[in-house]
Amino acid sequence: MFQPYFARLEKHLIKIYQTGDKKSVKKTAKSSKTAVKKSTEKSLVKTTKGGGDYEDLIKAVNGMLPEGNIITRSKICDSTGISVDTADFIVSEKRFKGMELIFSEEMPVELVRGSYSICQKVNRKQLVETLINVANCKKVGQYEKKNEPPFHASFVIAFDSTYQMDELKKAVKEIYHENSVDPRFEMDLMIVLGKGIVIKDWSKKGNYIALDTKEDSLMWFYIIMNEYLSLATSQDFDLRNYIRNPKVYDEF
């Protein structure tokens, strides 16, 4: 079935990002620039917030998405004017042609399906920073006057970790508990390549489940990520709400 594909892809990503294969990274950077020149619409994000080149990773995620979704490096914004730039990249519903260009700077939160944060190596400091970034992304749109605020899933992709998987789960729970984080703003799914995944337990408030999925981690990340993205429903969206400083025009 599909397990061998994800096993090969996970090994490839580990070789580049976990073991620091400089030749592969350099080759990736070169192919990234070529892709951008070839097609603005089809090209993916070249760099993330830390300035690293993660084109192979982003292409891998792009190949896992349900139909009708796109990856951009846009900020997430809402109609109140809030704009957040704490995700490394986002996945949005492709409701219009040319969205990659039209919303290249800011993506309306009603169109966002998932936000993604990248961790080089998860330690306590990086974990806290990542969870803060996740919370900031998920707050966008929550204070608009709507019956049902928009929901998007949050995903964390880590190349390595100083924690064992059970320790990582405990650390996530501990950080959220110590800071009294609203469950709406919690992370939904984390993968540590080649080691395991941490999943939000929706049946119990503030709880997470860690699995030592090892070489099957990317496969399970793909399955669960798609479950989240497929559950997302289209939100009511009015472009007029996003016009900044509306003008009064002469009418004849």
Instruction: Name which of 19-33, 49-63, 162-176, 230-244 the model is least confident about.
Output: 19-33
What are the sequence ranges of the domains in the chain? 3-233
pTM: 0.86
What's the pLDDT score for residue 52?
58
Give, in degrees to the nearest 5, the angle at Cα 249 between 248 and 251: 125
CB distance 189 to 172 below 8 Å: no
Instruction: Provide φ and ψ at 117, rounded to 5°.
Output: -120, 140
3-state class percentages of the chain: helix first, strand second, coil last, to nearest 5: 40, 20, 40
Instruction: Summarize pLDDT for 93-118 with one digit per residue, the tens.
Output: 999 899 999 999 999 999 999 999 99
pLDDT digits over 148-197, tens only?
788 899 999 999 999 999 999 999 999 999 999 999 999 999 999 999 99
